[in-house]
Structures are given as C-alpha cells and as structure tokens.
Amino acid sequence: MAGISVRSFRLQARRYGAGMVATEMISSYAVHYRNQRTLRMLELAEEEHPVSVQLFGNRPEVMAEAALAAEGAGADIIDINMGCPVRKVIKTGAGMALMEDGKRAAAVVAAIVDAVRVPVTAKIRSGPGREVTALSLASRLEDAGLAGVCIHPRLGVQGRKGRADHTVTAALVERLRVPVIASGDIAGRVDAERLLQGAGAAAVMPGRAMLGDPWLFTDMLAGRERRRRRPEEVMAEMRRFFQDLVVEMGRERAVRFMRKFYGWYMKPFRLPSNLAGELRRAQSYDEAESLMESGLPGISPVS
C-alpha cells in the first residue's frame, strides 16, 4: 500500500505472522534516474523476507532495469502494478492503464522475466473500466512468463469502493495454471477461508483491515475470529511501530508519518477528549510520546 507499506510496517506484519510482505509501489523511472529517496525504498531488512517488490511503469526496458535493481537489493519476487487507479499514475500509461494495453503489459512481463531470476507476478484488477477483462489479460500475461497473479477484484470505475467481487478470483483460479493471490475485503478468518478453500486462491493478502490491527494475522493463522485487544497492548504496539519508524526515516518524518496511523490504532477505543487531535498535531517525537504515555490511563474499550 502506497504511503503505508514502509519497512517498519512490513516488519510489523512479519512479526505478527504474515507469510510474505510487499513494498509500496516503486517508480521504475525514479529507479532509472537514481532518485535517492526511491532507491532508499529498495532497502530491505534481513527479517522481512520473503518480500515482494512492486514496480510501476510502462516501458519494458525501464521496468526490466528497475527489476534488476530490485533483485540486486534482495527482492524475492518482482510484482508489476497493473491496478493503481490514481490519475497521476495512469496518465503515464502505468498502473491500471497497463490493463488497457495487453500487448504492452505482456511486453513488460516478458522483459522483466528475461532480466531477473526471481519469480515475476502482477497485481491486477477485474478490469480497468466497467468490464471484467482480467481473465483474458491474465492468460496472456501467463503466456508471457508470469509466475503468479494477485487479483483485487474491483473494477476501475469502483476505485476502492463497493465490494470486491471474488467470483472473478474463482474464475481466474479456474483459468490459470499459476497461483492466484486474492486481495480485497479480507477482514478475518471467514473471508480468508472462503477464498482459500472456496475460490481456490493460493494465498490471501489483507489490505485495509490490517491498518492499526496487525493481530489480524495472528487471529487468522490461529483460525479464530478477531479478538478485542486491551488498550495497553495496542498502545505498546503503536509505540513500538513509531520507534521503528524513527529508526527508518528519522524523527521528523516519523512524526508526520504516524499522523494517519493514530486513528487506525485507536479506532476500537474511547479516548480522553482531544487526545486524537493532540496526537495528530504533535510536532515532535517527545511530544507525541508523552501524549501517548499520559493518555493511556484514560483510554477505554468502546462497549
């Protein structure tokens, strides 16, 4: 998830049992032009493997070059983004726009498969517009050498709204020889089982449900419904995550980065008035830390 799946986030997912993690989407052009911030996105930690590095772009040779760099950085899988609906991305012919140009999409796959030794996968949607085109496209990509497909079965017109239609996932499993990974509305054991046993997916990839709730993995792996967590437990994990972010990106960026996470972690709780706002407005690590420490006794579960 762009703007979310930084290294600390991936490490957290692994600590809670995720079998594999994926980076944010990384611009192949920015790797080509040696953008320093982008190259730092390719820095992977020992403990996060296996990790899939996702690239976006639409020029086969530039994508192949970036894939080689990612492989050199230790990527266990190279994943091609073909699902991003953001205008800035699709107007360059990348992300979801690749689904509209099967020939180019296949050329991108073939170029990367040629360049690297690790498996190459693609993350697709049901279709870039109003129609389901994933099946024929995925077949074509499979023929070009793809080792697996991750499907987020929403249409382009849906963005990230509405329900994911996993009948498309099941149809894809029927159609392809390679493994299919399912993404979309996976919020617990029941959803996961429906996809693994029901639709025949090889793996499931939770997205938004995991925000502020890495215990999703432990609960899912233990085969139980999600449990309520105590405020102390959630606060301790939030602070641990914050500390990891500080190591990863420095205090200043970590303080800004954390702003979107407080609400996710604190969602199951009733907070002392103003705590959420004060946390989001905190200007320094020390200020945020002391707010978390002093705020804890006043946090209670929503009944």
Catalytic residues: 84
**Can residue 151 be called a binding residue for ligand FMN (CB under 6 A)?**
no
- Nearer to ligand FMN (CB atom), residue 236 or residue 249: 249
Q: 204 and 211 in contact (C-beta within 8 Å)?
A: no
Instruction: Check residue 30 for interaction with ligand FMN (CB under 6 A).
Output: no
Q: Using alpha carbons, list the distances in angstroms from residue 65 to 27, 31, 33, 57, 139.
A: 11, 8, 11, 11, 25
- Compare residues 153 and 231 and give the one whose CB is closer to ligand FMN: 153
Q: Looking only at residues 79 through 138 of this chain, which bind ligand FMN when binding is defined by CB under 6 A? A: 81, 83-84, 123
Looking only at residues 47 through 76 of this chain, which bind ligand FMN when binding is defined by CB under 6 A?
Answer: 54
Q: Is 45 in the site for ligand FMN (CB under 6 A)?
A: no
C-beta nearest to ligand FMN: residue? 207
User: Do residues 57 and 27 touch, judged by C-beta distance below 8 A?
Assistant: yes
- Residue 260 CB, shortest distance to ligand FMN, in Å, is 9
Strand residues in 57-214 grouped as ranges (E): 77-81, 120-127, 148-155, 180-183, 203-205
Q: Do β-strands 77-81 and 180-183 pair in parallel, antiparallel, or remain unpaired?
A: unpaired
The first and second tokens of residue 22, run together, are 């994926």
| 152 neighbors 85 (Cβ within 8 angstroms) | no
Stretch of 29-37, 39-47, 184-192, 238-246 contacting ligand FMN, by CB under 6 A: 184-192
| Binding residues vs ligand FMN (CB under 6 A) | 1-4, 24-25, 54, 81, 83-84, 123, 152, 160, 164, 183-186, 206-209
